[in-house]
Structure 1
C-alpha cells in the first residue's frame, strides 16, 4: 500500500481516480515483481466530489471533499456536494460582480461630474457679486461671469465705449472665451425706487426670452448698488445712424440693403437700429423704455428720441400706435436720404399740401442711381414713409 497521507496534496480530485484499480511501478529497476498497491490520499487538501468506484476511506480528512452518497456522508462524515447550478452561479458571480461594481462606480462618477458641471454653470449663470448684488445671465453658454465683464472693459473705461444714448452708454467687451458682447451701462436713478429691483428683474427676464432675428438678443443684466448694466449680443456694424453718417459705410449700404432694412423695422430711430456683419438689421433697446419707466403712468416726460417723436405728443402727451408709425416713417425716409430729414419734416407740417418734392431730390446722392430692379421697391418705401408722416395721426397707416 502506498500511503500518501499528510502530504499537503491540494486541488480537485480527478474523476479518473475512480477507475484506478491498482498502482503498477514498471521499469523501476526492481529485481522483484511488485504486487498491486492501494493508494491512500487521506488528510490532504483535496476538494470536490469523490469519484465513483474510488474508496471513500482513502480520502478521509480532506475537509473540502464531498459525496452525494448518503451512506458515505453519514458513515465517513463527508459533506454533501452542492448542486451543479449553484456552482455555476457562484463562478458567474465571481466574474460578473466585480464588473458590475465597476460599472456602477463609473456611472456614479459620471453623475457626480454632470452635477458639478451643472452646478458650476448655474453658479456662473446666476451669481452674487462680492457686494451682495445680483448678476444674472440667461440663454447663454454659462461662461459669462461678472468679473469677466468688468475685467474686459477695465471697469467701464471710456476707451471701450462705442456709443451713448438716452438710457446709458454702450461698451464693447471681449470675454476670455473670445466672444464679444455689448454691455450697456444704464443710468442708475431708478435704482433708488424700492420696488424697482423685482420689477426690473421680471421685465428683463421677459425680454431675454424674446427670440426674433430682428431684435437684438438680450443675454442678461447686473443690478448693483452703484451700477446697472445689460448684456446684449454684439452688432458689428453699429447703428444705422453711424453707418449713414460714415461716407464709406454709407456707400456700402446700397439701395437693396436699405430697402431690406426698412422692410423689417418697427421701432424706431436710426440709433436704435443695429446692423450686424451681414448688414442684417435688428432693433436695439427693445422694451428698455418700459422697465426703465416702470411708473410711466405718472410721468410727464415723453420717452423717445428727438427728431423721431410724433408732433402731436407735444400737446397731447398720449402715446399711441400712430406715434410708432410716425417714427417708422422718419427712419424709412432717413434710410433713403442718408441723413435725418429735418427740413423735410418741417415742410410736411406746414399748411401747404403740395411741397413739390421729387423722389430724385431726396435720395442719397452718395449712391449711384438705383437700377430698375430695385427702383420699384424704393418708390414703395417712399410712399409708405410719407403716409406715415401725415400730420393727422388718424390718417396714418397702421403697422400691419
Structure 2
C-alpha cells in the first residue's frame, strides 16, 4: 500500500493480521500514533512506514516483533526516546529511524543488534555520549549518527568494528581524535565536519593540540609512521624500478620469441622464461592440454619443469591491441589487486601475461575440478558427504567475507556459481574465475554491464545494473541450496525467497537424496545453512545479511570437519 494518498489513521484491527510477513505503508499521509496492536504482528519480517506523519512514541509492544529483519520508520514525527527493547530484535538487519524527533540518549540495549548491517538514527535530537557498547554490533557496515546533539569523545572502540565501511557523524558536538578505523579514515570530510572539536590528519580537520599528552600521542602515531613508511616505500620503489629496467633490458636481448611481452611476476620465475616454457609444455596451446572452455577463453593444464602444476587461462583474443589501451590499463590494475589476495579459500592468481599473440592468466591448479562437475556425477557426488558439503559452504562464505570486508577497495566477484568453485584433494572449496570481478571504489557509482551465470544472478541486476556486495550474497544463497540439494534449485528459487517460506519448508525437501539421511546434529547444521541461504535470496538487497555476518554464524554453529 506504499506510495498512495492514504491520509487516515492506522486502524487498531491491524493486530488481527498475525500471519502477515511484510507490510508496506510508506510514502503516504498517514497520521496519528502507532497502535499498540502492532505487537500482535508476530510473523512480520519487513515493515516500512517511512514518509508519513506518524507522531508520538513508539509503543512498547513493538518489542514483540521478534522476527523483524527490516524496519523503516524514518521521515515521520515520532518523538520521545527510542525504545530500549528494540535491542531484542535478534534478526534485525536494517533499522532506519532517521528524520524524526527522538530525544534523550542512544539506548545501550539498542546496541545489542549483533546482526544489524545498517543503523540510521540521523536527523533527530539525540544527546549524550556514544555508548561504548556500540562495538558489540559486529556486523554493522553503515552507521549514520549525523544531525543530532551527541557529545563527548569519539570512542576508540570503533577500531574493533572491522566490518564498518561507512560512518556519518556530521553536525554533532563530538570532539577529540579520529579513531584509527577504516570507516573514519576513508570517510569524505563532509561526513565528519560540523562538530565541536574533532582532530586528526584528515583534510579540513584541526590537528590534535600538542598541549595535551593524548594529542601528542595521536599526532606521533599518525604522522611519524606515515613519513617513515613513505620514505621506505619510495626507496624500495626506486630500487624496484631500476632492477625491473635492468631485467627488461636483459630479457629483450635474450628473447627468442618475437613481440613485446608484459608479464606480471609470478612464482619464482622471471616473466620471459615462464612465457617460453608455457608455450613449450602446452605445445603451443594444443587441444590435448585443454581441460575446459569458457565464454572468454580456454583453460589448459601445464606441468612445468620445476614440478609445479599450474592452470593457464588463455583469452580468446590478445589484450595487447593498440585500440584497447584504456581497457588494458583498467584490466591490469584489477589483476595487480587480485595477485595480492591471499586466502585459503580463494584460488591463487600467480600472474598475467600480455603478448601480441597470446594473453593469459596463470593460476593455482586444484585436483578435483569444479563443484558443478562433481555434483553432476552420480558416483563422485556420493563421496561428497554432508560434512564435506557443510565445509564447502563455510569455505565459500569465508572467501566472500574476506573479499567484501577485508580488501580495500572491496572486491565483488559477480559470478559465484558451482562452476566457479574448485575443490582440492581434500574437497576444500576455492573460489575461482575472476573474469567478471568488479573492484568497488567508494567514489564511483559501480554501474556495470550484465555479468554472471544464469540462475545465480541477483534479480535487481536485471533492472538496476548496479553492482553491490549483496549481489554476491544472493548468488551465495543459490549456491548453498545447490550444495545441500545436490542440484541447482531452479524455479523453486522464487518460492524459497518468500518471507514465510522458512516457516513451511521441510529440511528433507532440500536434501540430496543420493546421500543417507544425516544425524541429528548434522541435520541441525544443515537447517542453519538452509535458513541462511533463504535470507540471502530476499528480493530486497538491503534485507539480505552480509557475508561477514554469514561467516560468523557458520563459524559459530557449524562444527569443523
- TM-score calculated relative to the size of structure 1: 0.62
Q: Is the 8 A contact 1:325 1:398 kept in 2?
A: yes
State whether residues 217 and 233 of structure 1, in contact with CA within 8 Å, keep that contact through their aligned partners in structure 2. Answer: yes
Larger deviation: 151-160 or 213-222? 151-160
- Between the aligned partners of 2:248 and 2:365, the Cα distance in structure 1 is 22
Task: For residue 312 of structure 1, give the secondary structure of its aligned residue in structure 2.
Answer: helix
Any conservation in 2 of the 1:180–1:234 contact (CA below 8 Å)?
yes
In structure 1, the residue matched to 2:265 is 138
Q: Which deviates more from structure 2 when the two are superposed, residues 276-285 or residues 150-159?
A: 150-159
> d(CA) in 2 for partners of 1:260 and 1:324?
19
The whole-number CA distance in structure 2 between the counterparts of 1:196 and 1:232 is: 22
> 2:475 aligns to what SS in structure 1?
helix
Summarize the Cα distance change of 1:213–1:188 in structure 2 as closer, same or farther, 3 Å threshold: same
- 1:255 and 2:386 are equivalent in the alignment: yes
C-alpha displacement at 1:168, in angstroms? 2.2
Q: Per the alignment, in what secondary structure is the counterpart of residue 418 of structure 2?
A: coil
1:212 to 340, 343, 368: 343
Shift of the alpha carbon at 1:287? Answer: 6.7
- Which of 244, 269, 273 is the matching residue for 2:417? 269
Q: Does 1:176 align with 2:324?
A: no
Task: State the shift of 1:353 in Å.
Answer: 5.2
- Please, which of 282, 288, 296 is the counterpart of residue 159 of structure 1? 288
CA apart distance, 1:121: 12
Measured in 1, the distance between the counterparts of 2:543 and 2:368 equals 35
- 1:337 Cα deviation from its structure 2 partner: 0.8
Partner SS, residue 487 of structure 2:
coil
Structure 2: distance between partners of 1:392 and 1:128? 56
Report if aligned partners of 2:371, 2:419 keep a CA contact under 8 Å in 1. Answer: yes
CA contact under 8 A between 1:220 and 1:232: conserved in structure 2? yes
Aligned partner (choices 425, 450, 464) of residue 302 of structure 1:
450
Aligned equivalents of 1:319, 1:128: Cα separation in 2: 43
SS class of match (2:437): helix
**Distance in 1 between residues matched to 2:248 and 2:336, nearest whole Å:** 18
Residues matched between the structures, number: 276
Q: 1:326 aligns with which of 437, 449, 474?
A: 474
Moved more, 365-374 or 128-137: 128-137
8 A contact 2:349–2:361 mirrored in 1 = yes
User: Is 2:497–2:539's contact at 8 Å kept on the other side of the alignment?
Assistant: yes
Q: Structure 1 unaligned runs (5+)?
A: 1-118
SS at match of 1:229: strand
Cα deviation digits, residues 164-221 of structure 1 (max 9, x gap): 2343221111122222100011243754412234433333222212211111111111
Residue-by-residue CA offset, 1:134-173 (whole Å, 9 max, x unaligned): 2425351227611211122222222222222343221111
Residue 530 of structure 2 corresponds to which residue in structure 1?
382
Q: Which runs of 5+ in 2 are unaligned?
A: 1-245, 401-412, 549-561
Q: CA deviation at 1:382?
A: 0.6
Structure 1 residue 394 and structure 2 residue 542: aligned? yes
Which residue of structure 1 lines up, in the alignment, with residue 367 of structure 2? Answer: 236
Superposed CA deviations along residues 91-127 of structure 1, whole A, max 9, x for unmatched, are: xxxxxxxxxxxxxxxxxxxxxxxxxxxx999978xx9
The residue aligned with 2:358 is: 227
* Structure 1 residue 288: Cα displacement: 4.9
- Deviation for aligned residue 1:230: 0.1
3-state DSSP of counterpart to 1:249: helix
User: In 1, Cα distance between the equivalents of 2:434 and 2:508?
Assistant: 33
For the 8 Å contact 1:150–1:156, the answer to whether it is kept is yes
Aligned residue number for residue 192 of structure 2 = none
Deviation at residue 297 of structure 1 after TM alignment? 7.3
Q: Secondary structure at the match of 1:145?
A: helix
Answer yes or no: is 1:186 the counterpart of 2:315.
Answer: yes
Partner of 2:463: 315
Q: Which TM-score applies when normalising by structure 2? A: 0.45
Query: Distance in 2 between the 1:349 and 1:231 partners?
Result: 38
- Is 1:289 equivalent to 2:437 in the alignment? yes
CA distance in 1, matches of 2:482, 2:256: 43
Preserved CA contact (<8 Å) 1:135 1:146: no
> Larger C-alpha radius of gyration, 1 or 2?
1
Q: Quick one: distance in 1 between partners of 2:318 and 2:457?
A: 24
- 1:216 match: secondary structure: coil
Q: 1:122 to 1:220 in 2, by over 3 A?
A: farther
Q: Residue 452 of structure 2 aligns to a residue in which SS? A: coil
Aligned CA distance change for structure 1 residues 383 and 123 (closer, same or farther; 3 Å): farther
SS for the counterpart of 2:419 is coil
| 264-273 or 198-207, which deviates more | 198-207
RMSD: 3.0
Higher relative contact order (Cα pairs below 8 Å, separated by 6+ residues)? 1
